[in-house]
Structure 1
Amino acid sequence: MAQMITMLCIVIHFYLWGKRIIIFFPLKMKIKKSIHLIHLKMVLLESILMGTTIAIGGGSLLYYYQNELLYPAKYRKKSREFIVPKFSEEEIPYTEVILTTKDKVRIRAYLCKRKNDEEACQRPTVLALHGNRGNIGKQSSIARNFYHNLKCNIMLLSYRGYGSSDGIPSEEGIKIDAQTALDYIKQHPILHDTKLILYGSSLGGAVAIDLAAKNEDEVDALIVENTFLSIPKLLPTFFSPLKYITFICTQIWPSDEQIKKIKKIPILFLSGKLDALVSQQQMKELYELSNTLAGKEWKEFPYGNHGNTITQPCYWNVIEEFLLWAIFDKNNKKEMNN
């Protein structure tokens, strides 16, 4: 139906364009007020129809292709070339884990556990959730810093349709994947009682917020970087007329609503000031919407953009300091460094 309406608008548009040309020549010969008025009305009508065409056409694309736009196949296909992080080069022990979700999709993750089981059960465990264009194969720096510098266990999840995981990505599906990974950690014979930290960037931040909101008793800290309020609120920042058709979005990721449900988990907000993809204002609003009783912290990186905030000076120092007060005894900071 939407395609038919779009085509109809285009036909009317060209019809009116032809009428305008026919009227133009008599105007040069003899200008008449009435003809001017007709011409003006046609131009106005044409503008309205053209705007309608763009809106409906854009709406059609958004409705039928939003999954491809949000979880682009080009990058998902490319991500399969970088499936395994360079664990050997980083001297990080790892185990490939294959999980089956409740909707029978096989997804993969890499678990990097401390070498000594006694140490592993005493250190925090990080569940890392990647953005829409990446996968765990490109998260070697995250694994390195959490494992070597912060002495954490870390699990890197690959959503359905990414890396070597089966299936097709969707909001509902990725939420199931994240819950499956959390359940695995909580049922792990060594890691089940460790402090659990959720870490997510961009789309991964939305995944982490949703997961934390639904598992407050299981999660001990939340770290989000350069994420958004929701997809309907993000789209108009790219093209303002899209605000009129966001009601057709099927992929919502309502972090603005989910963040308000988190009451008992400390949250760290990491924001790149130069982020041109997700406006920093969206992160600021998420911070303001958060009303956790466990404390929240805001850190801005003046030269950070959407992709390089993680490389900014003091990025990992900020995370370490956050974990010291959020996870460990503030008066025993040596615990993080032993």
Structure 2
Amino acid sequence: MSTGRYSKTILPLLIIGGTTAIISGGIAILYSVQRNLIYTPNYPEGSRKHVPKPSEYGIPYTPVILTTQDNVKIRIYVCKRHTDDEASSRPTVLVFHGNGGNMGHRLPIAERFFKDFKCNVVMVSYRGYGRSEGTPTENGLCLDAKAVLEYIRQDEILRYTKLIVYGQALGGAVAIDLIAKNEAKIDILILENTFLNIPKILPKIFPNFNFLCSEIWPSEQNIKKIKTIPILFLSGKKDEIIPQYHMKTLFELARTSSGKEWIEFSDGSHLDTVLQPNYFQYVGQFLQKHIIGWKVW
């Protein structure tokens, strides 16, 4: 083949191949950037190395390493009541945290559940968060949640307890997905400042690339699959990250037969709704209403 013929035959393929490689590389970068916007395990600085311990809050605990279905090792805190008899008679709260930090940063919340409500508490640092292995993705976090639920329901003490799942922001999406698939194993859902899905948030921070969204978290679809357990919605009216209409729409979409409750905090922003007056009083009243024969205080 002559050089001219070779050039005419191969050059277009090289151009097409090179363009495809550039496009593919660009899409890969966009996916990576997207995930870095959704999952921020390195913020605040040092969050991958320093994970506060429950003992710093006067809470007894056992650190546990779980291996997920896809062979990733994640770390959890298991905080049981002081005796086996007490632990088996009190509810267990599974805490799913938001997109930043690690489980140790939510210990002030665990402290209220443990000390005020006398609950057992289980906390998890998702894959890629805290000292857990791996890289955070939607599918990966769902597998993490499944592994923690299986641990609780196989534990010789916790398996018999009422299970409350508490999720903030991204943690709310994790909680909704878990319950949509495992409702028979869970008794109550508490949501704070969570979203309908990721594509409906991305335009604020990453415009024009919704068609490339690989992380969906379709809570607006999943919440309709929850049929029987009661749901408490805790919403900060001044949430500047997740507009309040996300929570309002999730509330409207929920059709659980055990009822739902809406609590709004007029001064609550994305990060400080949990600090608003009477926040835990509302939580306690909801738990007391839906766990028959159990006293919160």
| TM-score normalised by length of structure 1 | 0.78
- Contact 1:76–1:162 (CA<8 Å) still a contact in 2? no
The 3-state SS of whatever aligns with 2:89 is coil
Is residue 231 of structure 1 aligned with residue 195 of structure 2? Answer: no
2 and 284 in structure 1: CA distance in 2 versus 1, 3 angstrom threshold: farther
Deviations 1:21-40 (A, max 9, x none): xxxxxxxxxxxxxxxxxxxx
Determine the C-alpha separation between the residues in 1 that align with 2:47 and 2:31. 25
User: Is residue 149 from structure 1 mapped to residue 116 from structure 2 by the alignment?
Assistant: yes
The alpha carbon displacement at 1:74 in A equals: 3.3
Residue 180 (structure 1) aligns with:
147
The residue correspondences of 1:167-246 to structure 2 (distance < 5 A) are 167-238=134-205, 241-242=207-208, 245-246=209-210
SS in 2 for 1:251: coil
- Within 5 Å, give how 1:254-333 maps onto structure 2: 254-329=218-293
1:79 aligned to 34, 47, 65, which one? 47
The structure number with the bigger radius of gyration is 1
Q: Alpha-carbon deviations, 1:283-335, whole Å to 9, x = none?
A: 10111111111100000111110001111100000100110112234xxx6x2
1:249 counterpart residue number: 213
Query: Structure 1 residue 139: deviation in Å?
Result: 1.2
Q: Rate the CA distance shift 1:323–1:107 in 2: closer, same or farther, 3 A.
A: same
Asked if 2 retains the 8 angstrom alpha-carbon contact of 1:76 and 1:161, the reply is no
- 1:125 touches 1:194 (CA, 8 Å); kept in 2? yes
In 1, distance between residues paired with 2:171 and 2:188? 15
Between the aligned partners of 1:306 and 1:62, the Cα distance in structure 2 is 26
Runs of 4+ aligned residues of structure 1 deviating over 6 Å after TM superposition are none
Alignment partner for residue 140 of structure 1, among 107, 114, 123? 107
The number of residue pairs the alignment matches comes to 278
Does the alignment pair 1:126 with 2:90? no
C-alpha deviation, 1:207, in angstroms = 0.2
Q: Could you tell me the percent identity over the aligned residues?
A: 52
Query: CA, structure 1 residues 115+2, in 2 after alignment: closer, same or farther (shift >3 Å)?
Result: farther
Higher helix share: 1
Higher mean alpha-carbon deviation, 59-68 vs 145-154, is at 59-68
Root mean square deviation of aligned Cα: 2.0
Provide the C-alpha distance between the structure 1 equivalents of 2:130 and 2:163, rounded to a whole number of angstroms: 24
Maintained 8 Å contact 1:266/1:294:
yes
The SS at the match of 1:215 is: helix
CA distance in 1, matches of 2:259, 2:154: 28
- Partner of residue 69, structure 1: 37
Shift of 1:73: 5.1
Output the TM-score relative to the length of structure 2. 0.88
State the AA in 1 paired with 2:243: S
CA contact (8 A) 2:41 2:130 kept: no
Give the counterpart letter for 2:224 in structure 1: K
Task: State the AA in 1 paired with 2:141.
Answer: I
Q: Give unpaired runs (5+ residues) of structure 1.
A: 6-56
Tell me if the contact between 2:40 and 2:101 (Cα under 8 Å) persists in the aligned partners: no
Do the aligned residues in 2 keep the contact of 1:79 with 1:137 (CA within 8 Å)? no
User: Which residue type is aligned with residue 127 of structure 1?
Assistant: L
Q: Secondary structure at the match of 1:300?
A: strand
The amino acid that maps onto 1:99 is: L
Amino acid paired to 1:220: D
